Structure formats: structure tokens, C-alpha cells
Structure 1
Amino acid sequence: MLLFLKLINNLHILSYMKLSTSKFSLKVIVSGLSLLLLGFSIVAFEEPKISLDGYKIEEGFDLQIIAAEPNLKAPVSMDFDNKGRMWVVEMINYMPNLEGIGEEEPTGRISILEDLDHDGTIDHRKTFLDKLVLPRALAHVYGGLLYVDGPKLYFVEIKNDKPGKKTLVDPLYADGGNVEHSSNGLMMNIDNWIYNSNWNFRYRLKNGVWLKEPTSNRGQWGITKDNFGRLYYNNNSTNLQADFVLPNKVTRNRFYKPSVAENKKIASDLVYPISKADVNRGYQKGVLNEEGYLVSVTAACGPLVYRGGAFPAGYKQNAFVCVPEANLIKRNILNFGKTQTVAIQAEVGREFLASTDEGFRPVNLFTGPDGAMYVVDMHRGIIQHKAYISQFLAEKLALKQMDTLQNAGRILKITSKEIKGFQIPDFSKASSKELVGYLSHPNGWLRDRSQQLLIQKKDLSVVKDLIALSKTNSETGNGLHALFVLEGLNALNFNIISDIITNSTQPETIAHALGLAERFAIAANVPKMKTICDNLLARNDEVVDLYIPLSLQNWLKISEKTFMPILAKIDQKYIDQKIYQEAIVSNLEGKEEKYLSTMNPSKNLKNFLTTAIDNHKKNEMNSIYVKVKKDTDNRTKGLMLFRSICATCHGADGKGIQDLAPPLKGSEYIDGSIHRLAAIILHGISGPISVGGKQYLLNNDMPGMINNTSVSDEDIADIIRFTQNAYAKEGKNITASEVKKLRAQKPEGSGIFSEKQLLETEFER
């Protein structure tokens, strides 16, 4: 058997590694040979032996590297299949150098990692898909794989670990913007919908058809959920954000955008690193403390609400967050209120995991089928995209040669010293009865996957068991899983749902069931639904009372007379809690004026209703209902324009080209007046010109953009914003209106500035 052990040719990577050789067991060799004979492309390699000196994890936990370079490169996400194997997305060409040149090359891949000798460390890799452009997410769903390639979202069937039939799910999934601002996440929620980070659509495969529906835009990189099905996310400068209600509940009124119930910051952004950080705005006051340590997050990502069941009780549903710029992982303790969630730092002054290894770049976290936490460590020097990387940071990285730390990557595993992890079942062989049993398992990953497999099996023989389980009360949401298996099997009817609502003692189950009951909103069911609402209101449960108005939209269409008074009772009952008024208005689209004139709404509700009415008159919808394509951010647009217009002469790296154009870095025309710089781009310049004390004669004049109708004032402003960020000592901003004013300041003569004219002209601001 041929074993492939790739050589490491980067000396900087070697400084991060302490590899030692080990022999493969006969079992591994035989297994690998068998796979080769079956025609698989499989790479066997020596298990990583890398020092974890400098990694400090919270007491009571073990940290282990289970996969590493050179056989794993730039991992950014992962998932487990039904056999418990890891499937990893490798974004190999992300920022291959400080200039980001060559990033669009199709070098990305999705690999299957296996531990064939069952010693806890990965020893084999198979490439499932390759030649991908900046892949960033994947999910095992519907018996196949959902994944991203460039801007497109695909679903591919899996045949003996090889790709089968491929379906284009969304051609615009990650279109526009750079990879840091592109859609990702792909997380199946308990409601059987797939949610994303940084994208205002959700997906579902139903009866052989892919559905795509608007949803709230959430976060930047990574998404997670709690046992109830509420969503959590973040952005680079925010540790943790949350929705206080279930997804797609408060966005049903197209002319009202919620501000109370969704997208709420719930935690402090302070960090406590043990390594000094090189960050993009490190020169700005307050970003670093006096000793050079990061004060608050600047690249937070990859959150995880831990639902694994194999950590001590105090860690149940804690929210962990990656902070790659400071080489650490935060732990936030979630405190669940009736109508909101708050998070506190688990231990002030100390993080859950922190390292002095500057190459440690955790970007995503996942719970495994064994209950362990898995850390996706991109392990590289550059984690800032070219469109946003400042000259300050670029110089810092170059000085430390961090830009040479490429083609590395690791998967770390975190386990409790007190609690043994779970045995990983082979779900590919599990019966329906066994899967129903797993819906009550302590490990959320096993519950989630069992739910989806039961739906795929379409076995109606377990319906009675599922109905019984749906009425149980459990903090892990066992009843919710059973309820949504029934939903996925199309096995629900109004009698079943009303029985669940009546007999369940768990508010979370009732909340979900109320939403499902809307599907059966017909005139014949109105009396029974009215009785259900009255009985629920009598319970005086704040959670249930919140989800009653969130679930009445379809019933209101049938009988305003019956259900508007119920909304009025809730409005008055919680008159000072705006989340209830937001819940009411979110389900009253088209009926706001009727409610306003007949139901005597509270002040808060009156304001919300008036806002919705005004928006309707102006036809101003919540942006999720009109935005079908992601906009390219200004900085990335500026980079793209610079590369297509300016780089021909100045070089893609801005270092200039002999006899064509001078360098931009260190140029007084970049560091000086921003209006003078705009005038150069608009009107052009003829040589000679002095830059950085050196005279450049130039073979040709630099043409101006003033007569190029395809380049707008905003485009020129974007180009300038990019150059200011990339090459200026201190970045300055300019607006499109300022650029427009400069169009009139044409130089005399040829209409192209000479250096003398530039220096003598006072430009209008």
C-alpha cells in the first residue's frame, strides 16, 4: 500500500509544529488498502503529534489535536455524517498572500476525515469534492450534502462516498462581497428549515422541491441554536447576538421591521487574551491596552450553544464564541428569561480556551455525536481580507512573517475530564424505533440527526410513539423533536395538535404547536381555537402568551371578530413590554387600521401600528422581502474596481510598475489631500511626478475617469476608500457628492493635471 506523507516546505509552519513519527497499525493499513482496491482516492498519513504548550483551557477539560497539516489545509467548517465521520470544508486559497492575489483559483475542497484505527486521532482523508472556489459551508441533509462553491449553493447526492446527482439550489447564495461578508452557516433547525448566517433566506426540501423563503438577516460568520430553536449569531465586533423569539415569527408583517424581538446584543464584548494581538485597527486608541493586548472582540465568529450533554451541568447551553484575532474561545453563560435572553462572561478575566500560539485561529465550533466540542482552527497568519486589511496590519504581519503561515489547519477536540463521551452510533443502520429513542438522548446532535432521519425514512408506524413523546416535558426539548418529526411526515392534523397543546405542560412545545395549528385555520376550527386561546391565557404563562399573537395571522383572516379581542387582552396584560406589542403588529398586516379604530390599543401598540400603516402607504417593506441579491460592500467594490482599472499600471499589490506608474504605498498623493487624489483619478496626470523623493518620468499620461460613463462618482469614492485603507498611513474618507464637485475643477490646457498644477490647485471640498 502506498502511504502519502506530504513534505512541509514552509519553515514558518515548522515553527508551529513538533511532529514525531509513529507506525500505522496493521488494521489501518488493511483498511486503507481495502478502500484503495474499491477505487477511492484515500490519503493515509501519520497522526499529528503537535505540542499544545501555550494552550490554556478551563480546568476540568482536555484539549487534543485530532487532525492537522499537512493533510488538512485552511478548514473553515465541518459536519458529521451518519457514521460519525467528519466532513471538512477547506478554503485553501483564502488570502494566499498579503495582496490576496490568486484567491479566486478553484483550489478549495471538501474532505472526509476518518479514524480507522479508532484511537481518537484522524489517520485517513478522502477528497469528496475538489476544485471549489472559496467554499465556506456544508450540511448533511436529506441524505446528501448541501455545500457552497463560489456564489452558488448546491445539493449533491452521496453514492459510496462519491458525489452523485448535483442540484443547483440557489445561484445567488453568496453572490456579491468578499468571502468575509458572504453567506454561510447552513444549519438545520428544529423547525425543519435550514438557516444561514449573513443571508436573508432559509431553505427546505419538500416533496422533491427546494423551497426558499425570506428570513431575517443574521450575523456574519457562523450560526447556532438553543434547545427551543431560537437562533444565535454575531459579527466581527459583537461577541453574541440573539433572537428572543423563534425565527420567522415577528417578520410576518411585511411593512413592519421588528426592533425588540430580534438581532439583540446580549453579551459584553470584552476579551481576556494571553497573547498580544495584531489587529487591523491596533493603532487606534482603545483597541489594545497599554501592554498590547486586545480589549474587545474585532473578529468574533463561529458561535456554538453547547447541547452535547457530555460537559458538566454548569455548561449546558453555554454559548461559546471564537475570537481568532486574539487566539481564544469565549464562554458565555446564557440566562433564559421568559421573553429575553442575556449572557454573562463565565469567568471575568479569563477565557475558556486561550493560547500564546499566534497561528491558532478558531473560526467555527461544533458539537459532535460523541458530545465533544470540535474546534475548526484555520491556523494561519492572515485572517483579514485584502479589501479591509490596513497598511498597519499588513506591515505587522510581514514583519513577523505571519504571511508565510499558509496551508496549515487543525481540528481540535475538547472533552470533559469528569464525564465520558457517548458512543457514536451508526445511524445508517438504525431502525425507526431506535431513532425515536434517540430523540430523548442528552446529546443534541444525536437528537437533531434522528429527527431528520425519521423524516427521511417516512415510516408512519412510529406516529403513535411520536405523539406520546411530543407531550413530554424535558429541558432538552425531546417533545419538540417528536412534534417536528410528525410535521415532516405530514402526520399532523388539528385534533392531534390541539390535544398536544391541551395536554402539554411545556411552554416551548405549546409555542411551536400553536404555530403549526395555523395550517388548519378554517372556519370549522375557529370555535375550538378560541377555546384553546382562552384556556392558555388562563395559565398566565408569559412564554405561551407571547406565542398566541405570533400564531394568529391565519385565524384573523377567517374571523377578526373572534381573535382581535384576544390580541387586545394580551396588549393590556403586558402593556409595558414592547415585545408583546411587536408580536401583535407582526401578525396584523392589512388589518392595522381596523385594529387601531376598534380595539383601543396601548400607546406602544398604537405607535407600532402607525409605523406599519405609514410604511404600507409608502410601500416601504422590511428589506428581507425586497432584497434578493447580496450587495457588494463599498470596500470590496473599491478593491474590485482598483484591480480592474488601476492595477494594470500600479500593480495588483500597489507597488507600481517600472516606467508605467509609481508605487502607492508611501506616496504623498495617497497620504495627502484626499480631494487632490480624487482629482487625479477624475482628470488624470502627466509626468514627470515625484513620489517618495523619487522622480518618475512615466512613458504615458495617466488617463482620467471623467469621461468614462461606466465609472460613477460612488465608484471613484469606493476606489479611494480602498486605497486609503490599503496604502495610507491614516485612512481618510470621501463621499460621492465631494467627488461630483471636483468634476468641475478641470485643469487648463490639455485637461490633464501636471504635478505643478496639482500642487498649486486648492480643491473644493
Structure 2
Amino acid sequence: MTRKRPLKQAFALLVVLSIFMVGFRLIPFDEPRISLGNYTIEDGFQLRVIASESLLKAPVSMDFDDKGRMWVVEMIGYMPNLEGIGEEEPTGKISILEDADKDGVADHAKVFLDKLVLPRGVAHVYGGLLYIDGPKLWFVEIKNDRPGKKTLVDPVYAEGGNVEHSSNGLMMNIDNWIYNANYNFRYQLKNGKWLKEPTSARGQWGITKDNFGRLYYNNNSTNLQGDYVLPNKIIRNKYFKPSIAENKRLGANRVYPIHQTSVNRGYQSGVLDEKGFLKDVTAACGPLVYRGGIFPESYNQNAFVCVPEANLIKRNVLHYKGLQITASQAIEGKEFIASTDEGFRPVNLFNGPDGAMYVVDMHRGIIQHKAYISQYLTEQLAGKKLDTLQNAGRILKVTSKTIKPNPIPDLSKASSSQLVALLSHSNGWLRDRAQQLLIQKKDRSVIHQLIKLTSLTNSFSTAIHALYVLDGLNALSFESLSALVNQSKNPETIAHAVGLLERFSARQHVAKMKAISTQLLAQNNETIDLYLSMSLSPWLNLSEATFLPVLSEIEKKHASQGIFQEAITSGLGGKEEVYLTSMNPTDLLKKDLTTAITNRQKKELNPIFVLEKNSVDNRTKGLKLFRSICATCHGADGKGIQDLAPPLKGSEYIDGSMKRLASIILHGVSGPIHVNGKLYQLNNEMPALINNKEISDQDIADIIRFTQNAFAKAGKGISADDVKKMRDKKPSGSGIFTEKQLLESDFEK
């Protein structure tokens, strides 16, 4: 007698077999049975594990495709051990997670790309996939869930630094440009060619946006940062760097963990409170402005932030006060999500196609990179055996208890009219993806519907989405934008529209643009005035006499607001002296204009117009040099190697004078030598670096800085100038130090 399978099990088996028959490599998985009993979440919300090991390992980012499936970036090579040895191995991958039985939990995984080196970002754009592999940014076409033609978008995208400080994010904004965290370039595919142009450098890990299109980000020691203005609007003047309008700290850094956590600088005064709890963020990352539409109204456009070192997620309430933005702790003394599980390492947050918030939990013990990890933290992690928590990873889903998530639609089958309708949806993910799919479809039959939407006023920025679909379809004109600016009652829509009008600047439109400017100024709206001032640059090139007075009127209206003075200086690139002599500017504007003029004379550009790739920080350089020069004898862990070299951990030469340490590196040392009370009879002399022309004084200072961070009880520093002085303090005799000389010499003179 044949035993009948349960219906659910039979369905899952059928799916697996059918996929196997068409040649896909699909990995089945027992759905997670993971308790979240040691997690807390704000009242009214629920947390669920929807994917976990062994379906995925070390997830760091994700995106959804048009079918609503999760594509997860697995950075498996990151810190595979406390020494970080082997992280350059091509073990990373991008996997497609599927929910075959439709119960809301992923039960199958399919590898799309593998053999990647420290991948850390992915984005579904232009019908394909943008992703990071090592230092390079690639775009790959997708053919039946398999990689197709690959295009190298940027060969130096993530060069420089280590993985904690290399480019990531890859977020398509409402303006049809792709922005990043930790990189000063943005990207766009237009007419078959990839465009790359400078933008302001933003944050460290993760990037997000609000409904208007402003960008938000953070760094490890700053909870939340953001821009007061839309991207690339206030950097028009290459010789002026704004300081008021961009890269603003928005909220406090205080955190409220629910247990003692192991953090990198926990031994320093002020890092932990009297109970041993972390006080301020030290590894903040992965911010998200929630735009999903299924949380209660008061949560819309709240900014959530990952704090993996304290095993929690913060909620910040954003406050829009005129042109400024601030953020405040949502509930004093309490975080949105907190756990006592030290493996909970949230590193990124995303809005989903169903309106839920998705948490990428790397779920591992070590999150600090070797270049920065202190001896204190190394011992803490080893003592708790957290270094053994590897090859795990989870995706968590946050939903409201009172508002059900939306069904996940298959946008790959949506008609153009259905996509147009989604531009008015409460879920920002659906609006964003509908915008991009409409551009990809190139269906001009919906242009009339889109034009109607541009006059719509709602909190979802529907009109702005429609405006940029028209932009992507090359369906805008000076006439249509002029009509929109004159008719719209929405300052945010007008702000975007006047920016788009720039590309239609032409002599025959000067009189009309002057009339538009007059009409806009009459509205006495700060937002409109600001974006008008930032959009007049190409018009000034056509007629200074017409538009300089417009700028002057804006300046006088907002004379005490520095953001307006920066905006005007940005728009006046190359015409600062003309404005100074003809418009009688206020002292505040004079200061900015004079700065720009001086910088131009000195040929000192805003750094974003100079830097092509990220620089390597000193600690990372020190780590690389240590591994190539010192670790062969002293060991990657600094514990020494029998008969070759003594340990560095616990060594008085590491904890003592930095100038003595520099002298040892420069001139070498011969044994026997005592270290931490133990005698080491060395078979070989420690080689001197003084005659190695490839090793600079700064290189030696960087090596010392790394050893201080990794092996010293309390880290100290040394300058390249100090190292240089030690070059002349050669030991007598052979020129190589003996223990007696090291102990008797006064290196501080």
C-alpha cells in the first residue's frame, strides 16, 4: 500500500522536481525553527525569521526582483577567524531565495553568482543585476535566473581601504541615478552607456532615501546623517564645498542595549556605563527610511538604524522643520528591536514589496575587521567562543500586528497601466520599481496618464515619480515643465521640475524662464526659493542681466540662512566676482563667494572632483605591511613562532616606548632577548628595514599603529617625523640592536 504524502509536502516536492527538470540548481532547505524568545520588539509589531542557515551564510545585503524574490549577497569570506586570514578567497556569492510552498518562509536557494571576493552590494536595475566583486562594479544581464552578458561598470569602484571602508549601497534614487555609501560617484545607464559622475561622499555602510529623494546614511560612530537638499544640487561650483546643506548629523548617538556586549573599545573610559552597557553607537550601519506603508502612520518615514555591536535596531523619528531635518529617539530608553543574542548582527535594512521591513542579520560572532580589532575585543570574543560562530545568517521580517502586509505582486507580468497605478501606492518599494519598469518598457502610450499624475498632491511623491518616468522616456519638454511649474501646488514637485528645466536652457526660453522665476518667487516658499536658486546656473550663462537679480532677490529674502548662501555660491560657479561687484551681497554670502574665488585661484577643488578611488586608511596599510613583513616570524596572531621570533602580545617592546619600537623596526635586533620575563634564544637576527627604499617612514608608523591596536594593552601612536628621527640613532657595533642596547638607550631624547 502506497503511503500518501501531506498535500504541502507533495506540492514542495513537485516544485523541486519541476525545477530540477529544466536544469536549475535549487537547494532545498528545512524551514527555520529558530526561537526569538531573547528578542524584544516594540509593542504592536512582530518579528519572524524568514530565511536562515544553511540556506544562506553571512548575508550583508539584498534586493527583491520583479517577482518579489529575495536576492541575497553572502560575504562568506569576511573575517573567517580572529586573524582575518583567508578573507580574500573567492567564497562569496549571490543567491536567489524562494518560498516554494508560499507560507512566507524561504525554503529553497539557488546560486546566481559565486566565486566572488567580499561582495557587499547588489541592485536590480535596468532589467539586470548590478553587483560588487572585489574592487570592481559589474552589471550582468539575467537570462532565466542565470547570468548573461557581463559589463564592467567601474574597475576601481571599491579600491582602497578594507571591506569596512569600501564602497557599497547601490541604491536607485527617485532621480534615476544610482547612489552609494562611501564613494563619491553616482551611476546611470543611458542610451546603452554607463555614466559615472561625481557626487558627494556619503557615509560608511548603507544608504537610504525619503519620499522626496533626499539621502540618509551614517558611519560607525554616528547614528544618522543626511542631506538637507536633493543630491548634486549644491555641488555645482567645483571650487566650493558646502558644509551646511550636506552631511549633517541628524540625531543623538545614545543606545539602549538590553545586555552587556563585547565592543571594540570597551576598556576606554566612557564607552560603557556603570553596568557595562554600551552608551553610544560604535558600529552603526545599514540605515533605512521606512516607506512601506503598512506600519502605523506615525512610523512612516521613520529612520531605522542597525547597531550590530549592541545587537539592536534603533528607531529615529525624523522632524522636518523648514529646510532642516532633525531626528530624535522614538522611545526614550528603549530600542525598536533588541536582543541578548550576541550573534544577532543586523547590518542592513530594506523596504519590501509587501510593505514589511526586512532585516539582514549577518549572524556571526566577529564583526570587527582585523585592521581595527583591539586586543581587548579579541580576548572577549575568544573567551565567549564567539569566534566560532561562523557560516550562519538570517533574514528577519518585521510587520505590524494590526495592518496586514500587502500581497507580493509579480511585476514582471504587470501591464504599463498597472505600473502607472502603482506610482500612487502607499508602498515606496512598489512606486520605485514601477517607475523603473515603466522606463524600461519604453511604452509611450501612458504618457498622458503620467502627465495627469504630475499634478497630483499626496505624501507619497506620486507626482515626482511620474515626472521622472517622463524624464526616463524622454517625454519632457520646456513647455510641459513650464506648465507643471505654473500649475502645481506642491513645492516638492516644483523643486524637482525646476531642476529638470535646466536641460532645456536656451536663449529662446530666457524670457519665459524669467517669468517663471517671478511667479515662483511670489509664492514666498522656502523650498521653491532654494531649488530655484540652485537651478539658475545654466540660465546665468545665457543672460546674467536677467537672472543675477533673481538670485539677489532670493539672497535678500533669506539673508540669515547659510543654506541659501551655499546654494547661490554653488549656482554662481565662475561668476562670483560678477555678483560681488554688481549685486551688493550680504557679508554671509561674501564670505562664501570669497572662499570660492580663493580656491579657484589656488586651484583647490572640492575633493569629490579630484578623488577617483577611496584611499587606504593607515590601519589597513599597517595590517597589510605587518602581514607581508612581520607575520612570517611573529605570526599573524602576534603570538610568535618557535625559534623565529618572540610574541608581540604581552611584549614590553609593544607596550613601551614607540620610538624604541620604531628603532627596532628600522635597525633590527639580535638575540638572545627577554620578552615578558621569558628568554628567547633566536637563531636569526630580526632584519632591519632602514635600507629598504620601498618602506617609508609613514609605512613604519602605520605598522606601529596596527600593532598598537592589535597587540598593545593601551594603544599609542607615533608620527612619520618621529620615525625619521630614529633613522639617525643607529646602534654602535654591528648596527643592529642587542637587548642590552635596547634597555640602556634613551630613545625619548
Superposition TM-score tier, normalisation by shorter sequence: over 0.9
Normalised TM-score (structure 2): 0.99
What pairs up with 1:633-648 in 2 under 5 angstroms? 633-648=617-632
Does residue 681 (structure 1) correspond to residue 665 (structure 2)? The answer is yes
Q: Match for 2:364 among 376, 380, 384?
A: 380
Residue range with higher mean Cα deviation, 31-40 or 185-194 = 31-40
Q: Which residue of 2 aligns with 1:454?
A: 438
Q: SS state of the match for residue 583, structure 1?
A: helix
Q: Which residue of 2 aligns with 1:279?
A: 263
Query: C-alpha separation between the residues in 2 aligned to 1:136 and 1:289?
Result: 33
Say if 1:146 and 1:154, in contact at 8 Å, map to a contact too: yes
Say if 2:667 and 2:689, in contact at 8 Å, map to a contact too: yes
RMSD: 0.9
Task: Give the partner amino acid of 2:444.
Answer: L
Q: Match for 1:440 among 424, 430, 433?
A: 424
What pairs up with 1:112-191 in 2 under 5 angstroms? 112-191=96-175
Say if 1:145 and 1:158, in contact at 8 Å, map to a contact too: yes
Does residue 736 (structure 1) correspond to residue 720 (structure 2)? The answer is yes
Q: Which residue of 2 aligns with 1:477?
A: 461
What pairs up with 1:521-560 in 2 under 5 angstroms? 521-560=505-544
Query: What is the Cα deviation at residue 338 of structure 1?
Result: 2.2
Q: Which residue of 2 aligns with 1:228?
A: 212
Q: For 1:543-564, what per-residue CA distance to the aligned partner results, in whole angstroms no more than 9, with x for missing partners?
A: 1011011101100111111000
What pairs up with 1:258-273 in 2 under 5 angstroms? 258-273=242-257
Query: C-alpha separation between the residues in 2 aligned to 1:751 and 1:292?
Result: 49
Task: Give the partner amino acid of 2:10.
Answer: L
What pairs up with 1:359-758 in 2 under 5 angstroms? 359-758=343-742
Say if 1:275 and 1:357, in contact at 8 Å, map to a contact too: no
Q: SS state of the match for residue 530, structure 2?
A: helix
Query: C-alpha separation between the residues in 2 aligned to 1:373 and 1:275?
Result: 24
Q: Match for 1:250 among 228, 231, 234?
A: 234
Query: C-alpha separation between the residues in 2 aligned to 1:279 and 1:213?
Result: 38
Q: For 1:619-673, what per-residue CA distance to the aligned partner results, in whole angstroms no more than 9, with x for missing partners?
A: 0000000000110000000000001111111112211111111111111110111
Query: What is the Cα deviation at residue 24 of structure 1?
Result: 6.0
Q: SS state of the match for residue 291, structure 1?
A: coil
Query: What is the Cα deviation at residue 420 of structure 1?
Result: 1.2
Say if 1:714 and 1:736, in contact at 8 Å, map to a contact too: yes
Query: C-alpha separation between the residues in 2 aligned to 1:606 and 1:567?
Result: 14
Task: Give the partner amino acid of 1:373.
Answer: M
Query: C-alpha separation between the residues in 2 aligned to 1:658 and 1:524?
Result: 82
Task: Give the partner amino acid of 1:195.
Answer: Y
Say if 1:187 and 1:195, in contact at 8 Å, map to a contact too: yes
Task: Give the partner amino acid of 1:505.
Answer: K
Query: C-alpha separation between the residues in 2 aligned to 1:24 and 1:450?
Result: 33
Query: What is the Cα deviation at residue 195 of structure 1?
Result: 0.1
Say if 2:130 and 2:139, in contact at 8 Å, map to a contact too: yes
Q: Which residue of 2 aligns with 1:194?
A: 178
Say if 2:372 and 2:709, in contact at 8 Å, map to a contact too: yes
Q: Which residue of 2 aligns with 1:329?
A: 313
Q: Match for 1:79 among 33, 48, 63?
A: 63
> Structure 1 regions of 5+ residues with no counterpart?
1-21
Q: Which residue of 2 aligns with 1:26?
A: 10
Query: C-alpha separation between the residues in 2 aligned to 1:83 and 1:672?
Result: 60
Compared CA separation, residues 377 and 23, structure 1 to 2 (3 A): farther
Q: Which residue of 1 aligns with 2:339?
A: 355
Query: C-alpha separation between the residues in 1 aligned to 2:153 and 2:322?
Result: 37
Query: C-alpha separation between the residues in 1 aligned to 2:596 and 2:12?
Result: 64
Task: Give the partner amino acid of 2:439.
Answer: I
Say if 2:235 and 2:241, in contact at 8 Å, map to a contact too: yes
Normalised TM-score (structure 1): 0.97
What pairs up with 1:53-92 in 2 under 5 angstroms? 53-92=37-76
Q: SS state of the match for residue 586, structure 1?
A: helix
Say if 1:73 and 1:90, in contact at 8 Å, map to a contact too: yes
Q: Match for 2:87 among 84, 103, 108?
A: 103
Q: Which residue of 2 aligns with 1:4?
A: none
Residue range with higher mean Cα deviation, 82-91 or 746-755 = 746-755
Task: Give the partner amino acid of 2:484.
Answer: I
Query: C-alpha separation between the residues in 2 aligned to 1:639 and 1:572?
Result: 54
Query: C-alpha separation between the residues in 2 aligned to 1:652 and 1:343?
Result: 43
Query: What is the Cα deviation at residue 132 of structure 1?
Result: 0.5
Q: SS state of the match for residue 320, structure 1?
A: strand
Say if 1:683 and 1:753, in contact at 8 Å, map to a contact too: yes
Say if 1:86 and 1:113, in contact at 8 Å, map to a contact too: yes
> Structure 2 regions of 5+ residues with no counterpart?
1-5
Query: C-alpha separation between the residues in 2 aligned to 1:344 and 1:151?
Result: 36
Say if 1:742 and 1:764, in contact at 8 Å, map to a contact too: no
Say if 2:29 and 2:54, in contact at 8 Å, map to a contact too: no
Query: C-alpha separation between the residues in 2 aligned to 1:625 and 1:92?
Result: 34
Say if 2:70 and 2:97, in contact at 8 Å, map to a contact too: yes
Say if 1:138 and 1:148, in contact at 8 Å, map to a contact too: yes
Say if 2:423 and 2:430, in contact at 8 Å, map to a contact too: yes
Q: SS state of the match for residue 396, structure 2?
A: strand
Query: C-alpha separation between the residues in 2 aligned to 1:684 and 1:694?
Result: 20
Q: Match for 2:194 among 210, 220, 233?
A: 210
Query: C-alpha separation between the residues in 2 aligned to 1:581 and 1:319?
Result: 29
Q: SS state of the match for residue 539, structure 1?
A: coil
Query: What is the Cα deviation at residue 603 of structure 1?
Result: 0.9
Query: What is the Cα deviation at residue 764 of structure 1?
Result: 4.0
Say if 2:237 and 2:569, in contact at 8 Å, map to a contact too: yes
Task: Give the partner amino acid of 1:368.
Answer: G
Say if 1:469 and 1:479, in contact at 8 Å, map to a contact too: yes
Compared CA separation, residues 653 and 500, structure 1 to 2 (3 A): same
Say if 1:147 and 1:153, in contact at 8 Å, map to a contact too: yes
Compared CA separation, residues 760 and 24, structure 1 to 2 (3 A): farther
Say if 1:741 and 1:764, in contact at 8 Å, map to a contact too: no
Task: Give the partner amino acid of 1:712.
Answer: S
- Percent of aligned pairs with the same residue? 69
Query: C-alpha separation between the residues in 2 aligned to 1:427 and 1:618?
Result: 53
Query: What is the Cα deviation at residue 23 of structure 1?
Result: 10
Q: SS state of the match for residue 567, structure 2?
A: helix
Query: C-alpha separation between the residues in 2 aligned to 1:447 and 1:28?
Result: 32
Query: C-alpha separation between the residues in 2 aligned to 1:743 and 1:588?
Result: 51
Say if 1:108 and 1:132, in contact at 8 Å, map to a contact too: yes
Q: For 1:126-177, what per-residue CA distance to the aligned partner results, in whole angstroms no more than 9, with x for missing partners?
A: 0000110000000000000000000000000000000000000001011111
Query: C-alpha separation between the residues in 2 aligned to 1:358 and 1:93?
Result: 20
Task: Give the partner amino acid of 1:477.
Answer: S
Query: C-alpha separation between the residues in 1 aligned to 2:160 and 2:523?
Result: 49
Query: C-alpha separation between the residues in 2 aligned to 1:23 and 1:758?
Result: 78
Matched residue pairs, number? 744
